[in-house]
């Protein structure tokens, strides 16, 4: 885990101006002990020149000085620097400068010299806090104006890739990261397929193939969770910001490997909102322009490599448990056949297939001990198992092309009577495709040998389906399932084996 950077006071330099060297010495001791950078001068001219150098964040100066008073020095400084934080030191109460002077010269505070500087340290601390806030706001104001400047460029027929790269590099200058990537859905695509575009800088300045290879399941899960919840997700390695368009839809994510202080995070979210609107404008613009070949090539590569990556992950899950190997392929196959019997659209059938193949992908983070346990699971182990539908949904949600399968994966352990998990949804609250997947999953679990149960024969499995009809399972799905799968089981399995054999 990386160490979180925080702004340290040592980064702040204080200049003091006093005609008494003794006071400067005391200030030096007190301020350095408190971690500030310090320099003391006795000459007003030196002080003005040092401030002009821009090296100092704050000036502490004596009010009553020879040959000129402190307020005159401040007047000269204010001619070229309205921002500098200035604290006045006064001899004692009666000698405080008039209020009008303090206001007119934008002096932020004053205190008496002879009280061991306790009050001064408090003033300095609160001044530093204001300075940090001011700097953060200024930094982000600059960043936002850069993004706003970037918007007109969109209308100069720039490839979307350049816009994304611009957005990334500006985001990194804002929060000081070194690597970042942006993953955006191509909303240009009017067909039912969903396409995504990727750009990375620093460690992620890679081809899509290499990027996919370095994506680990945890990062994928966090990306998916940020997309689904539309919330910023802060992880050890950095920050993930959802890109949300004007219709409140998530159109992608930005990831920056930066330690972002909390106040900067809020401003970064504003920045992400600007970025999202720049991106969706760019898409709107290119929608009426030429088709972008680069995007299509990118998409094909992306889809292929992502499927390869997730497929590899899935094999890892299956490999963990020799008894469930082949389970997800069978579930996908059964679900597809039932879907056809219901005369679902090609798109729904594809969604069912993806849902079947990946329904247990969320088990990837679950320990082998629990997955392969032959005895009954303990309460806490069961709680861990119950997390896999949501985890899986997050992993698939990382890529928009699989987004239709996300609700199925989330719901494959829901029961129609509301006693399932993770949400306890009832009846039609569970998507229809999810209800199909649930029957296919349960049936295959019953008919293949598992650690915690030897396999049921076909007749028993059929009884279990009928018994669960209306409580665990959707009645209409069970009816069709029995007709097209159970009652014709041998032929169905031969057909399935045929589809699995390499051509």
How many positions of this chain bind Fe ion (CB under 5 A)? 1
Listed ranges 59-67, 281-289, 359-367, 368-376: which one lies at the site for Fe ion (CB under 5 A): 359-367
Listed ranges 44-52, 65-73, 239-247, 360-368: which one lies at the site for Fe ion (CB under 5 A): 360-368
State the nearest-atom distance from the C-beta of 458 to Fe ion, in Å. Answer: 22
- Smaller CB distance to Fe ion: residue 303 or 327? 327
Site string for Fe ion, 319-358 (x = CB under 5 A): ----------------------------------------
Distance (Å, whole) CA 59 – CA 62: 10
Per the CB < 8 A criterion, the answer to whether 438 and 408 are in contact is no
> What are the residues whose beta carbons fall under 8 Å from the beta carbon of 344, sequence distance 6 or more?
352, 433
- Smaller CB distance to Fe ion: residue 276 or 361? 361
- Smaller CB distance to Fe ion: residue 348 or 360? 360
- Smaller CB distance to Fe ion: residue 227 or 391? 391
Locate 48 and state its tokens. Answer: 């003005």
Beta strands 180-186 and 250-256 are antiparallel
Per the CB < 8 A criterion, the answer to whether 89 and 62 are in contact is yes
- Smaller CB distance to Fe ion: residue 206 or 325? 325
State the nearest-atom distance from the C-beta of 337 to Fe ion, in Å. Answer: 20
Per the CB < 8 A criterion, the answer to whether 339 and 485 are in contact is no
State the nearest-atom distance from the C-beta of 126 to Fe ion, in Å. Answer: 55
- Smaller CB distance to Fe ion: residue 257 or 441? 441
Distance (Å, whole) CA 237 – CA 258: 7
State the nearest-atom distance from the C-beta of 382 to Fe ion, in Å. Answer: 13
- Smaller CB distance to Fe ion: residue 50 or 445? 445
The reply on whether position 318 binds Fe ion by CB under 5 A is: no
State the nearest-atom distance from the C-beta of 172 to Fe ion, in Å. Answer: 39
Subset of 456-475 contacting Fe ion (CB under 5 A): none
Distance (Å, whole) CA 278 – CA 163: 8
Beta strands in 63-136 (DSSP E): 85-90, 109-112
- The 3-class secondary structure across 392-424, one letter per residue, is HHHHHHCCHHHHHHHHHHHHCCCCCECCCCCCC
The reply on whether position 360 binds Fe ion by CB under 5 A is: yes
Per the CB < 8 A criterion, the answer to whether 394 and 224 are in contact is yes
Distance (Å, whole) CA 431 – CA 400: 19
The reply on whether position 444 binds Fe ion by CB under 5 A is: no
State the nearest-atom distance from the C-beta of 359 to Fe ion, in Å. Answer: 6
- Smaller CB distance to Fe ion: residue 185 or 360? 360
Length reported for the chain? 503
Residue 202, Ramachandran bin (φ over 0: left; ψ between -120 and 50: alpha; else beta): left
**Which residue's C-beta sits nearest to Fe ion?**
360
Per the CB < 8 A criterion, the answer to whether 177 and 268 are in contact is no
Distance (Å, whole) CA 481 – CA 475: 10
State the nearest-atom distance from the C-beta of 433 to Fe ion, in Å. Answer: 15
For binding to Fe ion (CB under 5 A), which residues are involved?
360
């Amino acid at each position: 885990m990386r160490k979180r950077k925080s702004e340290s006071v040592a980064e702040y330099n204080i200049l003091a101006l006093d005609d008494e060297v003794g006071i400067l010495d005391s200030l030096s001791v007190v301020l350095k002990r408190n971690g500030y950078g310090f320099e003391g001068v006795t000459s007003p001219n030196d002080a003005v020149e040092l401030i002009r150098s821009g090296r100092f964040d704050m000036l502490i100066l004596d009010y009553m000085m020879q040959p000129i008073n402190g307020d005159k020095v401040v007047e000269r400084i204010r001619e070229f620097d309205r921002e500098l934080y200035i604290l006045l030191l006064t001899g004692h109460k009666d000698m405080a400068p008039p209020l009008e002077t303090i206001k007119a010269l934008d002096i932020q505070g004053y205190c008496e010299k002879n009280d061991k500087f306790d009050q001064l340290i408090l003033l300095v601390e609160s001044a530093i806090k204001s300075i940090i806030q001011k700097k953060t706001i200024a930094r982000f104001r600059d960043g936002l104006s850069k993004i706003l400047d970037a918007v007109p460029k969109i209308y100069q027929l720039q490839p979307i890739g350049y816009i994304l790269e611009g957005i990334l590099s500006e985001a990194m200058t804002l929060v000081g990261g070194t690597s970042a990537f942006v993953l955006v859905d191509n909303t240009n695509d009017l067909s039912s397929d969903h396409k995504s575009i990727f750009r990375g800088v620093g460690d992620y300045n890679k081809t899509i193939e290499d990027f996919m290879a370095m994506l680990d399941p945890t990062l994928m899960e966090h990306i998916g969770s940020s997309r689904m919840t539309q919330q910023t997700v802060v992880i050890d390695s950095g920050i993930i910001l959802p890109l949300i368009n004007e219709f409140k839809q998530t159109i992608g994510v930005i990831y920056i490997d930066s330690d972002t202080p909390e106040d900067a995070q809020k401003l970064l979210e504003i920045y992400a909102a600007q970025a999202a609107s720049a991106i969706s404008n760019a898409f709107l613009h290119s929608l009426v322009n030429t088709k972008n070949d680069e995007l299509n090539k990118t998409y094909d590569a992306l889809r292929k490599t992502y499927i390869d990556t997730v497929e590899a992950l899935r094999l890892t899950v299956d490999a963990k448990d020799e008894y469930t190997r082949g389970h997800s392929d069978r579930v996908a196959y059964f679900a597809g056949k039932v879907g056809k019997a219901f005369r679902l659209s090609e798109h729904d059938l594809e969604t069912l297939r993806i849902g079947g193949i990946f329904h247990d992908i969320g088990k990837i983070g679950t320990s082998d001990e629990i997955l392969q346990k032959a005895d009954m699971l303990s309460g806490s182990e069961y709680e861990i198992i119950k997390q896999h539908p949501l985890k899986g949904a997050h992993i698939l949600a990382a890529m928009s092309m699989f987004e239709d399968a996300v609700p199925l994966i989330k719901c494959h352990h829901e029961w129609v009577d509301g006693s399932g998990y993770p949400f306890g949804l009832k009846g039609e609250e569970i998507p229809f495709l999810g209800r199909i997947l649930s029957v296919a999953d349960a049936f295959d679990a019953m008919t293949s040998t598992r650690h915690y149960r030897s396999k049921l024969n076909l007749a028993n499995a059929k009884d279990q389906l009928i018994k669960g009809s209306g409580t665990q399972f959707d009645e209409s799905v069970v009816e069709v399932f029995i007709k097209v799968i159970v009652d014709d089981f041998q032929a169905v399995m031969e057909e399935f084996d045929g589809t699995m054999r390499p051509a």
